[in-house]
């Protein structure tokens, strides 16, 4: 009886939406919950870039872009619901901004012929396009991040970190566990000692972890955190007077909102980056003119230029460029998700292209191929300047230790291919 | 009017003691089964299955399981999420160790393993009661989640700690993995839901169920009249965990496909299932279905109305969802503390007399 009642109730409410010629970009955003601090600006940036393209250029190649927002709350069940409810609308590419949801969608989206762009998150070994035909994680992945952090520590210490103690404070989930294997390999290679400290979801309670850091006295701390966990960790680090310049976060742990609660004590905190900081780009003039002042900004419209907002802009820019590549390749304007995948696979980002788009130096240069879905993995380092209230890039996009990372990617993706009977995609 | 008993005579004892003694009720039950088995599978697509039917069916099994423990035996448990995790990880280990075995067997075995774990954590219930038992099961919840995060054997040493369901079938039909058909996963879950409901209903009608209810109503009196509290409590834990384990296995293998223990089986899951049986009705199989439907469908419904129809911002709708669900829970508990099942019972009584109330 419940089944029947429920069926009728929902059946009455479901309305088929009109199918028009447009490019659909679902945005599985989270504006609620403990991870909203990062989710809101990212979703705003993602939506605003497409609004700008529609308002200024009349869409992409003459076809309007439509952003379908669906709230997931960083919850995998809601993520599935969002995926199922948006895929029928002609979704071109999914960017779930959650490693858990990405893991879930990898097999589903591959079966449905829809690409996933997990930009700097998700399953790292998806960089092997030979196995993961529909998953892309350019421009850099978690293992590039781990190596980038170690490279930076090496650089600061004159190239020798043997005998040093480095702690990893990580979100106790697939996301936080990703870098462990790489760091273990790097610890062998460079001779440092690795201390692992897990922080459970959502990360508000970290007293014991930082007490342990106080006791073990590591020389450096690397953090893989997200949402409220970042703010708490930086506050705790400030409380135990851990030297901030030895504290380095992954790119998801380096937003203004993460460091601001700790005030001046957060000065000197470092974070990796795969997109530029600040709003000093020609594109932002257009954004203000066509989107913000026209009252069409997503959300409250107050996030312009923050780190996660820029990353949303960057993700949208990469998606829009992939659409252009696909339109050129297939000679049609209203592309399908399969064509979008081809476009992503042949994407090349150069300095000229970024300058042309009004975003000079906004991200690293890279090119995608059938075998390599992860780009070249260049990583930059930023540092928080509390008095100026902004992140400053202190080292430019630099290569990471692919010697260590590539065998790990090959090993993990081969295991996935064997487990799921996946044949080579590229030959 | 609707529930006429006129002309509805029972001539044998089995007829008199069947689950639906009123003929109209019985036919309606058959009609629901018919629609669920023979009509819905031909009409549904991925969206309907993955967003509505599958979560509803799986949560209904979990709610039936918890209802046996809390509603029938009176042992408050906050460990549902942890026991679902046991079912999920048992199913994962079995799926990867014996790929050629049918999924039916894996899910049932996962339920069996969970039943054993449930008995283990049920042992303290012989000594402690009420809130103290709730705290003990809360410990089970945290311990199990911690263990599945910590011991890498459970997730086959994968780098991320996630478990992913590989493609498995039953009678040659794919049940797990990305290439499944909507009807296949729906029917697979439906079979388990019907099985659970029928078994639970008949257990609670029989001597085992009466023992549970005796323990629930007053355990000392029950002991004096000859109910063995050890057996009654532990069977309740075992049967309850069996169903919860099945729902956990289905939740992971068929519904989500990839699971992270802290996120999918955290304390919020325990509370969600507990809310389902409180809203649905403690000590009622129908209540388990009603509660599961209420808490699964309402957010989807509100999202469709708020976002798709009215075009409101997604965050406002998400917050409104919390407000409305919370508000409804409060209203329900004040207006009808016995849940939706009691509302249904009252409605049935009224309909029996309608249109002549006296």
Q: What is the pLDDT of residues B23-56, one digit of tens each?
A: 888 888 899 999 999 998 888 888 888 889 999 9
Rounded CA-CA distance A104/A161 in Å is: 38
CA distance to partner chain B, nearest, from residue A178 (Å): 5
Higher pLDDT, A315 or A8: A315
* pLDDT tens figures, A355-409: 999 999 898 999 999 989 988 889 999 999 989 888 999 988 888 988 889 999 9
Higher pLDDT, A16 or A421: A421
pLDDT band per the 50, 70, 90 thresholds, residue A340: very high
**Interchain CB distance below 8 Å, B47 and A200:** no
Which pLDDT score is estimated for B356? 74
Query: Chain B residue closest to A9 (CA)?
Result: B301
Residues of B in contact with A178 (CB under 8 A): 159-160
Which pLDDT score is estimated for B106? 94
Which pLDDT score is estimated for A183? 93
Average pLDDT on A302-319 reads 91
Residues of A in contact with B179 (CB under 8 A): 111
Residues of A in contact with B190 (CB under 8 A): none
Rounded CA-CA distance A312/A41 in Å is: 7
Query: Chain A residue closest to B286 (CA)?
Result: A2
* pLDDT tens figures, A141-193: 899 999 999 999 999 998 888 899 999 999 988 888 889 989 999 999 999 99
**Interchain CB distance below 8 Å, A178 and B160:** yes
**pLDDT of A8 strictly over 50:** no
The three-class DSSP label of residue A88 is coil
**Mean pLDDT of all residues belonging to chain A:** 88
Average pLDDT on A83-91 reads 89
**Interchain CB distance below 8 Å, B149 and A198:** yes
* A118 prior amide bond cis, ω within 30: no
**Interchain CB distance below 8 Å, B159 and A15:** no
DSSP sequence for A9-26: HHHHH--PPP--S-EEEE
The two tokens of residue B83 are 């026991």
Candidates B25, B45, B159, B193: best to mutate against A (most CBs of A within 10 A) is B159
Which pLDDT score is estimated for A20? 55
**Interchain CB distance below 8 Å, A174 and B179:** no
Residues of B in contact with A103 (CB under 8 A): 160, 162, 164, 258, 260
Query: Chain B residue closest to A5 (CA)?
Result: B293
Residues of B in contact with A32 (CB under 8 A): 315, 318-319
| CB pairs < 8 Å spanning A and B | 142
**pLDDT of A247 strictly over 80:** yes
Which pLDDT score is estimated for A2? 44
Residues of A in contact with B166 (CB under 8 A): 419-420
CA distance to partner chain A, nearest, from residue B263 (Å): 8
- Report whether A238 contacts A210 (CB < 8 A): no
**Interchain CB distance below 8 Å, B167 and A201:** no
Query: Chain A residue closest to B168 (CA)?
Result: A420
Which pLDDT score is estimated for B358? 64
**pLDDT of A17 strictly over 50:** no
- Torsion angle of C-alpha atoms A249, A255, A256, A260, degrees rounded to 10: -50
Candidates A43, A97, A107: best to mutate against B (most CBs of B within 10 A) is A107
What global pTM score does this model have? Answer: 0.89
The backbone region for A291, taken as left when phi is positive above 0, alpha when psi lies in -120 to 50, beta otherwise, is alpha
Query: Chain B residue closest to A174 (CA)?
Result: B160
CA distance to partner chain B, nearest, from residue A174 (Å): 4
Q: If contacts are CB pairs under 8 Å, which of residues 28-57 in chain B contact chain A?
A: 28-29, 32, 35-36, 40, 46-47, 50-52, 55-56
**Interchain CB distance below 8 Å, B301 and A9:** yes
Residues of B in contact with A76 (CB under 8 A): 256, 258-260, 263-264
Average pLDDT on A281-286 reads 91
Q: Please check whether residue B264 touches A, CB under 8 A.
A: yes
Residues of B in contact with A36 (CB under 8 A): 315
Which pLDDT score is estimated for A4? 45
Q: Please check whether residue B295 touches A, CB under 8 A.
A: no
**pLDDT of A290 strictly over 60:** yes
CA distance to partner chain B, nearest, from residue A262 (Å): 27
Cα A70–Cα A73–Cα A75 angle in degrees, nearest 5: 105
The two tokens of residue A408 are 């790990």
Rg, chain B, Cα only:
21
The predicted complex's ipTM stands at 0.86
The closest alpha carbon to A37, from A352, A255, A245, belongs to A255
Rounded CA-CA distance B252/B254 in Å is: 6
The closest alpha carbon to B239, from B191, B272, B286, B206, belongs to B206
**Interchain CB distance below 8 Å, B28 and A1:** yes
Which pLDDT score is estimated for A5? 46
Largest CA distance in chain A: 72
**pLDDT of A16 strictly over 60:** no
Average pLDDT on A36-62 reads 92
Which pLDDT score is estimated for B1? 57
CA distance to partner chain A, nearest, from residue B162 (Å): 6
The closest alpha carbon to B70, from B25, B130, B121, belongs to B130
Q: Please check whether residue B258 touches A, CB under 8 A.
A: yes
CA distance to partner chain B, nearest, from residue A268 (Å): 31
Rounded CA-CA distance B109/B307 in Å is: 42
**pLDDT of A10 strictly over 60:** no
* pLDDT tens figures, B108-165: 999 999 999 999 998 888 888 888 888 889 999 999 999 998 888 998 887 778 888 8
Candidates A7, A106, A182: best to mutate against B (most CBs of B within 10 A) is A7
- Cα atoms in the Cβ-side hemisphere of radius 13 Å centred on B240: 36
Q: What are residue A247's DSSP bridge partners?
A: A221
Question: What percentage of chain B reaches a pLDDT higher than 70?
Answer: 98
* pLDDT tens figures, B170-225: 888 888 888 888 899 999 999 999 999 999 999 999 999 999 999 999 989 999 99
**Mean pLDDT of all residues belonging to chain B:** 89
Which pLDDT score is estimated for A302? 86
Q: Please check whether residue B156 touches A, CB under 8 A.
A: no
**Interchain CB distance below 8 Å, B160 and A3:** no
**Number of residues in chain A:** 427
Candidates A86, A177, A203, A415: best to mutate against B (most CBs of B within 10 A) is A177
Inter-axis angle of helices A36-57 and A228-239, nearest 10: 130
- SS3 string of A214-279? HHHCCCEEEEECCCHHHHHHHHHHHHCCCCHHHEEECHHHCCHHHHHHHHHHHCCCEEEECCCCCC
């Amino acid at each position: 009886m419940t089944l029947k009642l429920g069926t009728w109730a929902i059946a009455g409410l479901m309305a088929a939406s009109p199918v028009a010629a447009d490019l659909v970009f679902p945005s599985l955003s989270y504006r609620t919950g403990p991870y909203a601090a990062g989710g809101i600006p990212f979703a705003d940036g993602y939506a605003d870039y497409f609004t700008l393209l529609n308002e200024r250029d009349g869409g992409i190649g003459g076809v309007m872009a439509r952003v379908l927002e669906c709230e997931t709350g960083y919850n995998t069940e809601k993520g599935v619901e969002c995926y199922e409810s948006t895929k029928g609308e002609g979704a071109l590419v999914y960017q779930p901004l959650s490693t858990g949801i990405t893991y879930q969608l990898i097999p589903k989206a591959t079966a449905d012929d829809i690409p996933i762009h997990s930009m700097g998150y998700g399953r790292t070994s998806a960089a092997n396009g030979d196995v993961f035909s529909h998953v892309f994680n350019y421009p850099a992945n978690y293992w590039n991040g781990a190596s980038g952090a170690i490279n930076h520590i090496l650089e600061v210490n004159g190239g020798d970190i043997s005998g040093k103690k480095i702690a990893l404070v990580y979100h106790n989930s697939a996301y936080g566990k990703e870098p462990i294997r790489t760091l273990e390999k790097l610890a062998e290679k460079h001779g440092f000692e690795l201390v692992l400290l897990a922080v459970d979801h959502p990360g508000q309670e970290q007293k014991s972890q930082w007490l342990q850091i106080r006791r073990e006295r590591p020389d450096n701390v690397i953090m893989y955190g997200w949402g409220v966990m970042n703010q708490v960790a930086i506050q705790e680090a400030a409380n135990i007077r851990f030297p901030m310049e030895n504290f380095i976060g992954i790119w998801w742990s380096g937003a203004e909102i993460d460091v601001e609660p700790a005030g001046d004590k957060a000065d000197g905190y470092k974070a990796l980056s795969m997109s530029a900081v600040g709003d000093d780009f020609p594109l932002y003039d257009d954004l203000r003119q066509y989107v913000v002042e026209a009252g069409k900004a997503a959300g409250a419209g107050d996030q312009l230029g923050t780190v996660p907002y820029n990353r949303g802009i960057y993700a949208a820019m990469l998606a829009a460029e992939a659409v252009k590549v696909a339109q050129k390749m297939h000679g049609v304007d209203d592309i399908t998700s399969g064509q979008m995948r081809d476009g992503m696979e042949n994407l090349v980002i150069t300095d000229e292209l970024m300058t042309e788009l009004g975003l000079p130096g906004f991200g690293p240069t890279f090119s995608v191929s059938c075998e390599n879905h992860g780009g070249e993995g260049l990583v930059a380092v930023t540092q928080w300047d509390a008095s100026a209230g902004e992140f400053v890039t202190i080292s430019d996009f630099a290569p990471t230790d692919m010697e260590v990372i590539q065998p790990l990617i090959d090993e993990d993706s081969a295991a996935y291919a064997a487990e799921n009977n996946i044949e080579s995609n590229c030959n | 009017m609707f529930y006429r008993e006129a002309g509805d005579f029972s001539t044998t004892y089995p007829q008199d003691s069947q689950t639906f003694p009123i003929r109209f009720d019985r036919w309606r039950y058959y009609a629901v089964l018919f629609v669920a088995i023979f009509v819905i599978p031909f009409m549904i697509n991925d969206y309907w299955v993955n967003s509505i039917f599958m979560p509803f069916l799986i949560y209904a099994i979990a709610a039936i399981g918890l209802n046996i423990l809390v509603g029938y035996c009176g042992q408050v448990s906050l460990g549902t999420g942890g026991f679902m995790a046991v079912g999920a990880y048992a199913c994962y280990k079995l799926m990867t160790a014996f790929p050629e075995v049918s999924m039916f067997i894996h899910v049932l075995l996962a339920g069996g393993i969970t039943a054993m774990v449930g008995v283990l954590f049920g042992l303290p219930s012989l000594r402690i009661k009420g809130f103290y038992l709730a705290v003990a099961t809360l410990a089970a919840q945290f311990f199990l989640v911690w263990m599945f995060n910590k011991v890498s054997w459970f997730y086959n040493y994968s780098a991320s700690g996630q478990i992913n369901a590989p493609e498995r079938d039953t009678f040659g039909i794919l049940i797990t993995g990305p290439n499944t058909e909507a009807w296949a996963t729906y029917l697979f879950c439906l079979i388990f839901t019907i099985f659970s409901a029928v078994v639970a209903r008949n257990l609670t009608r029989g001597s085992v169920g009466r023992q549970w209810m005796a323990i629930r109503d007053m355990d000392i009196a029950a002991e004096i009249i000859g109910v063995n509290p050890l057996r009654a409590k532990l069977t309740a834990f075992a049967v309850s965990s069996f169903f919860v384990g099945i729902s956990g296995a289905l939740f992971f293998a068929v519904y989500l496909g990839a699971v992270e223990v802290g996120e999918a089986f955290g304390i919020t899951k325990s509370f969600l299932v507990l809310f389902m049986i409180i809203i649905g009705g403690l000590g009622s199989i129908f209540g388990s279905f009603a509660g599961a439907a209420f808490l699964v469908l309402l957010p989807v419904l509100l999202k469709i109305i708020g976002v798709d129809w009215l075009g409101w911002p997604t965050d406002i709708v998400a917050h409104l969802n919390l407000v409305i669900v919370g508000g409804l829970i409060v209203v329900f508990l004040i207006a009808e503390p016995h849940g939706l099942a009691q509302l249904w019972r009252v409605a049935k009584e009224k309909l029996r007399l309608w249109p002549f109330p006296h």
